[in-house]
Structure 1
Amino acid sequence: MHTHLVAALDIGGTKIAGALVDRDGSLLVRARRSTPAQEDAESVMGAVGDVLAELTSSPLWAGVRALGIGSAGPVDASAGTVSPVNVPGWRGFPLVERVGAVTGGVPVVLVGDGVAMTAAEHWLGAARGYDNALCLVVSTGVGGGLVLGGKLHRGPTGNAGHIGHISVDLDGDPCPCGARGCVERLASGPNIARRALENGWRPGPDGDTTAAAVAAAARAGDPVATASYERAAQALAAGIAATATLVEIDIAVIGGGVAGAGDILLAPLRRSLRTYATLSFVQRLTVAPALMGTDAGLVGAAAAAAAAVPAGGANGARTVAAQ
């Protein structure tokens, strides 16, 4: 009988996934729905409700002691609300309260998706065994999370480690967040592709203009495609070096779809890091690809919940402030 399970939700702009997770990180029961991202708030909550209905109907649900949510951000764990950029119907949506109402008083822990990925990589992935780590999700945006002193560092609202919005180019392009020259504006997949196209790169006969297509062109020797990845790597290196200088991390783990470019991104990233991470205490910083793949959000949400809720449960508490 599984008595120490954690339920997990991974909420993004394309999918809402759920699972029941055991203490080894194995996903015992899974559920998934597409996110009706362009519909109203209740339609999106309906999809969450469908996923929860599958999980709560499992005989294993009786062993669940907490539920973790990793959501696209911004999130506010102190208020229990989410406002995912790519789900316009949810602005300040009281997700923790709504999920708690469905699940009958199981403690609910909310973190941002970058923090969830970090929790997964620290528990079972590339950051395992490291007490101080930065994990990055380089995808449609650039997110991240921190492990400090062996513990997941969520911050009061669950957004700590959001490296995508460190400015690394003081007079750079305006970022949709309102600042200028953010890491995300230089290093996200869409921005890698945009920059390559603006500088004269042209897609092949299939018309694919994604960052993955730019990576393939770079691998084949296209200088414009290569330069776009090198610029992204430079921005990431500057952000990683700034973080390492502030809080002394031992490893930076790179995940997300753009990390699928492999050495097209990681080789110039390691080179650039030598330029920016120059002080003695950051020179030994390791860079490694993420290992957890597409299940990182679920495993990480489970890890965050398990860490926040003592093994005996939370004495009926509905909500746990993820701090």
Structure 2
Amino acid sequence: MHMDLVAALDIGGTKIAGALVDDRGRLLLRAQRPTLAQEDGETVMGAVEEVLGELTASAPWPRVRAVGIGSAGPVDRSRGTVSPVNVPGWRGFPLVDRVRAVTGELPVELIGDGVAITAAEHWQGAAQGHDNALGMVVSTGVGGGLILGGELHPGPTGNAGHIGHISVDLDGDPCPCGARGCVERIASGPNIARRALAEGWRPGADGDATAAAVARAARAGDPVAIASFERAAQALAAGIAATATLVEIDIAVIGGGVAKAGDVLFTPLRRALRDYATLSFVQGLTVAPASMGTDAGLVGAAAAALRVGPGVNGVRRQAV
């Protein structure tokens, strides 16, 4: 007997990826298009429709029972709309309705990309086996999602766990979100590089001024680069500890480009966490690097679809 499938969409500022996924999280068929994020909203939607067109035209499509979408945000799960910061042509864009126009009356679940990656890490990655977890993406921005009581907790709009906009510096720099001293304003890749440059670090001969270059300099012993990563780690630790104190998570899984710095980030982060996670019920909190890689968004979107799809022929909603 053929098991049922779900369709997954992973929508970001660079690419729109789609896949047909089985109940074990295996990607059976893929499609991808560039986002063309600076074009108008209909052009971007055209790329989504092309990806969906490849999926719906495939032989396994009749076995698809639900659609999951993980999108750059903000998203509004309750309304089915998206307003990705990095896709200016989409503001309150009715993505769920437009996807349904292609896929028919299948159930559609929309969540933010940080929530999707969290779902993937809980289902198959570094948070597997943990009933209460925080997933994080530390990259151009800082996002996240929550697993509570063994289940994905996207919240009413699909943005729950967005740790990047917890304020950890009450008098800190203004954040583009409108608040001050957000985790993202300190710990995202561009802000790690910005701080290092402001404190006197200079790129090498190749001119690379990204956080990855700062990480290489820190690994080589540059004190300014080290300090910039330590400040980022402190901000992350404060945000993680606050989240753990609020909802009693026991693990934080961190992915994204900045996490690729490895020990340059994780060593000061674990050290700083001891200073912030001080109450007895959060002292066992651990941090771990994400393990799902570039497929995390698709696997997480599939996990979201499994939550809403009919539980027949082996589609196991409890698996996510």
TM-score interval, smaller chain: over 0.9
Q: Distance in 2 between matches of 1:312 and 1:178?
A: 45
Partner of 1:54: 54
Partner of 2:202: 202
Which amino acid counterpart does residue 38 of structure 1 have in structure 2? Q
How much has 1:312 moved relative to structure 2? Answer: 3.9
Q: Distance in 1 between matches of 2:252 and 2:308?
A: 24
Establish whether residue 238 from structure 1 lines up as the match of residue 238 from structure 2. yes
Establish whether residue 131 from structure 1 lines up as the match of residue 151 from structure 2. no
Which amino acid counterpart does residue 99 of structure 1 have in structure 2? V
Q: Distance in 1 between matches of 2:93 and 2:171?
A: 34
- The percent identity for this pair of structures is 81
Establish whether residue 287 from structure 1 lines up as the match of residue 279 from structure 2. no
How much has 1:24 moved relative to structure 2? Answer: 1.0
Establish whether residue 87 from structure 1 lines up as the match of residue 87 from structure 2. yes
User: Per-residue displacement from partner, 1:25-75 (whole Å, max 9, x unpaired)?
Assistant: 110000001111000010000000110011111101111000100000000
How much has 1:286 moved relative to structure 2? Answer: 1.1
Partner of 1:218: 218
Partner of 1:68: 68
Partner of 2:164: 164
How much has 1:21 moved relative to structure 2? Answer: 0.5
Partner of 1:319: none
Stretches of 4+ moved more than 2 A in 1? none
User: Per-residue displacement from partner, 1:233-262 (whole Å, max 9, x unpaired)?
Assistant: 000000000000001011000011110000
Partner of 1:113: 113
Partner of 2:180: 180
**Paired residue secondary structure (1:59):** coil
How much has 1:310 moved relative to structure 2? Answer: 2.8
Give the superposed CA RMSD.
0.9
How much has 1:104 moved relative to structure 2? Answer: 1.5
**Paired residue secondary structure (2:60):** helix
Contact map agreement 2:67 2:305 (CA 8 A) in 1: yes
How much has 1:308 moved relative to structure 2? Answer: 2.3
User: Per-residue displacement from partner, 1:85-142 (whole Å, max 9, x unpaired)?
Assistant: 0000000000000000111111111000000000000000000000000010001100
Unaligned runs of 5+ in 2: 314-320
Partner of 2:317: none
Contact map agreement 2:132 2:146 (CA 8 A) in 1: yes
Contact map agreement 1:132 1:150 (CA 8 A) in 2: yes
**Paired residue secondary structure (2:97):** helix
Contact map agreement 1:2 1:22 (CA 8 A) in 2: no
Contact map agreement 2:108 2:308 (CA 8 A) in 1: no
Q: Distance in 1 between matches of 2:181 and 2:279?
A: 24
Q: Distance in 2 between matches of 1:210 and 1:4?
A: 43
User: Per-residue displacement from partner, 1:158-212 (whole Å, max 9, x unpaired)?
Assistant: 0000000000000000000000000000000000011111111111111011111
Partner of 1:262: 262
Contact map agreement 1:172 1:181 (CA 8 A) in 2: yes
Q: Distance in 1 between matches of 2:310 and 2:192?
A: 43
Contact map agreement 2:65 2:310 (CA 8 A) in 1: no
Contact map agreement 1:3 1:64 (CA 8 A) in 2: no
Where do residues 6-85 of structure 1 align in structure 2 (5 Å cutoff)?
A: 6-85=6-85
Contact map agreement 1:173 1:185 (CA 8 A) in 2: yes
Partner of 1:190: 190
Partner of 2:318: none
Contact map agreement 1:189 1:210 (CA 8 A) in 2: yes
Where do residues 298-317 of structure 1 align in structure 2 (5 Å cutoff)?
A: 298-312=298-312
Q: Distance in 1 between matches of 2:168 and 2:14?
A: 29
Partner of 1:318: none
Contact map agreement 2:107 2:308 (CA 8 A) in 1: no
Contact map agreement 1:7 1:19 (CA 8 A) in 2: yes
Using the size of structure 1 for normalisation, the TM-score is 0.96
Which amino acid counterpart does residue 265 of structure 1 have in structure 2? L
Contact map agreement 1:3 1:62 (CA 8 A) in 2: no
Using the size of structure 2 for normalisation, the TM-score is 0.97
Which amino acid counterpart does residue 209 of structure 1 have in structure 2? A
How much has 1:272 moved relative to structure 2? Answer: 0.2
Q: Distance in 2 between matches of 1:41 and 1:193?
A: 31
How much has 1:2 moved relative to structure 2? Answer: 3.6
**Paired residue secondary structure (1:235):** helix
**Paired residue secondary structure (2:33):** strand
